[in-house]
């Protein structure tokens, strides 16, 4: 059973400057709702009961969003507005599920994952990268189905244009398991189109084994000076850990860039 999810939220969000100079990108509204709430809802619908947020001192705004009880209570006392009460109850529901850990130095996704080591209880856990929204079909839910079926770690996958491989982690495929799932023999972080072993990209949903922490402790910074989860995954694969790439069926929205962020509101408003 996958019951815990982790969400790295300590990134600086430089691709969304100037907004992110004062604002946490994960709280920016997408069609009237913080992007992060879409991610939380995906988790809840997939059966997750605890979510670990990896934030930094600079991103305290995220914790404050869920811990603003005094403000809501005073307002409700004064106004008794049913919309405010509904919103506050939603925030309270989320708050009960969330734990916080800190990554004050943004040293990469691998380093962020390592910060959750002490809190992970089961053999596998889910990770969601908040820049990647997947709508229409719950990607985490179908990945959990694949995980149970293959008794393996799972990562979301999408076919991308060969020209854009340097934007993504790219899979080395082993064999097709069925229409949507592939066994992989490796993954490379952001290769040039010349070096890319395929045009299947890693999208930000991962079911990872607890054994990844041992690997992360030894993983050195690589591309861009960051500690990449991709490198720790490759190391696990070298030790024969089974990893499956799952071609999800939902619609992918890239909220980590300005054009993608603008487009995501438009797309969600059409749903
Ligand atoms: C991260 C991962 C990359 C993956 C991507 C998906 O990159 O390192 O492997 O393909 O998320 O969005 P980032 O977006 O942080 O540069």
What is the C-alpha to C-alpha distance for residues 240 and 2, in angstroms, rounded to an integer? 21
Confirm or reject: Cβ of 227 under 6 Å from ligand 1.
Answer: no
Token match 């995980």: residue? 147
Confirm or reject: Cβ of 256 under 6 Å from ligand 1.
Answer: yes
Q: For residue 256, how far is its CA from the centre of ligand 1 (angstroms)?
A: 10
Query: What sign has the CA pseudo-torsion 260, 170, 38, 22?
Result: negative
Confirm or reject: Cβ of 169 under 6 Å from ligand 1.
Answer: yes
Domains of the chain, residue spans: 4-269
Token match 């996704």: residue? 109
Of 161, 167, 165, 183, which Cα lies nearest the Cα of 242?
183
DSSP state of 223: G
Confirm or reject: Cβ of 132 under 6 Å from ligand 1.
Answer: yes
Can you tell me which atom of ligand 1 is nearest the CA of 189? 9
What is the C-alpha to C-alpha distance for residues 235 and 213, in angstroms, rounded to an integer? 11
Query: What pLDDT was estimated at residue 259?
Result: 94
Helix (H, G, I), strand (E, B) or coil at 228: coil
Beta strands in the chain (DSSP E): 4-8, 29-30, 33-34, 50-55, 98-102, 124-128, 132-135, 153-159, 169-176, 181-189, 200-209, 243-247, 251-254
Please give the CATH architecture assigned to the domain spanning 4-269. Alpha-Beta Complex (3.90)
Given a contact cutoff of 8 angstroms between Cβ atoms, the answer to whether 114 and 213 are in contact is: yes
Can you tell me which atom of ligand 1 is nearest the CA of 168? 10
Q: For residue 44, how far is its CA from the centre of ligand 1 (angstroms)?
A: 23
Q: For residue 238, how far is its CA from the centre of ligand 1 (angstroms)?
A: 21
Confirm or reject: Cβ of 250 under 6 Å from ligand 1.
Answer: no
Residue 178: CB atoms within 10 Å: 10
Confirm or reject: Cβ of 129 under 6 Å from ligand 1.
Answer: yes
Residue 253: partners with Cβ closer than 8 Å, 6 or more residues away = 132, 133, 134, 135, 260, 263, 264, 267, 268
Q: How far is C-alpha 133 from the chain's CA centre?
A: 9
Confirm or reject: Cβ of 209 under 6 Å from ligand 1.
Answer: no
Can you tell me which atom of ligand 1 is nearest the CA of 204? 6
Query: What sign has the CA pseudo-torsion 45, 51, 57, 63?
Result: positive
Query: What pLDDT was estimated at residue 106?
Result: 87
Confirm or reject: Cβ of 196 under 6 Å from ligand 1.
Answer: no
Confirm or reject: Cβ of 198 under 6 Å from ligand 1.
Answer: no
From first to last of the 271 residues of the chain, give the pLDDT tens digit.
899 999 999 999 999 999 999 999 999 999 999 999 999 999 999 999 999 999 999 999 999 999 999 999 999 999 889 999 999 999 999 999 999 999 999 899 999 999 999 999 999 999 999 999 999 999 999 999 999 999 999 999 999 999 999 999 999 999 999 999 999 999 999 999 999 999 999 999 999 999 999 999 999 999 889 999 999 999 999 999 999 999 999 999 999 899 999 999 999 999 8
What is the C-alpha to C-alpha distance for residues 41 and 229, in angstroms, rounded to an integer? 24
pTM, full prediction = 0.96
Query: What pLDDT was estimated at residue 60?
Result: 97
Tokens at 18, concatenated: 């100037």
H or E element that contains 84: helix 82-97
What is the b/e burial string over 238-252, where b = at least 16 CB atoms within 10 angstroms of the residue's CB?
eeebebbbbbbebeb
Query: What pLDDT was estimated at residue 271?
Result: 86
Can you tell me which atom of ligand 1 is nearest the CA of 256? 14
Q: For residue 168, how far is its CA from the centre of ligand 1 (angstroms)?
A: 5
């Amino acid at each position: 059973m996958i019951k815990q999810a982790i969400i790295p939220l300590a990134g600086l969000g430089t691709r969304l400057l100037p907004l992110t100079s004062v604002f946490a990108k994960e709280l920016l509204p997408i069609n009237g709702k913080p992007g992060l709430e879409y991610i939380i809802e995906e988790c809840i619908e997939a059966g997750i009961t605890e979510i670990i947020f990896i934030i930094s001192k600079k991103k305290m705004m995220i914790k404050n969003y869920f811990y603003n009880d005094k403000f809501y209570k005073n307002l409700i006392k004064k106004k008794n507005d049913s919309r405010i009460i509904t919103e506050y109850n939603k925030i309270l529901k989320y708050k009960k599920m969330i734990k916080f850990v800190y990554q004050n130095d943004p040293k990469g996704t691998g380093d962020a994952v390592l910060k959750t080591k002490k809190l992970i209880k089961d053999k596998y856990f889910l990770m969601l990268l908040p820049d990647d929204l997947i709508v229409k079909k719950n990607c985490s839910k179908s990945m959990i189905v694949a995980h149970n079926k293959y008794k393996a770690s799972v990562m979301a996958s999408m076919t991308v244009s060969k020209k854009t491989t340097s934007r993504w982690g790219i899979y080395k495929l082993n064999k097709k398991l069925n229409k949507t799932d592939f066994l992989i023999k490796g993954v490379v972080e952001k290769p040039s189109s010349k070096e890319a072993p395929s045009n299947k990209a890693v999208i930000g949903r991962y079911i990872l084994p607890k054994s990844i922490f041992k690997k992360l402790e030894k993983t050195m910074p690589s591309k861009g000076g960051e500690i990449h989860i991709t490198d720790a995954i490759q190391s696990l694969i070298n030790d024969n850990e089974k990893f499956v790439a799952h071609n999800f069926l939902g619609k992918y929205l890239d909220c980590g860039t300005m054009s993608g962020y603008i487009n995501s509101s438009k797309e969600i408003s059409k749903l």
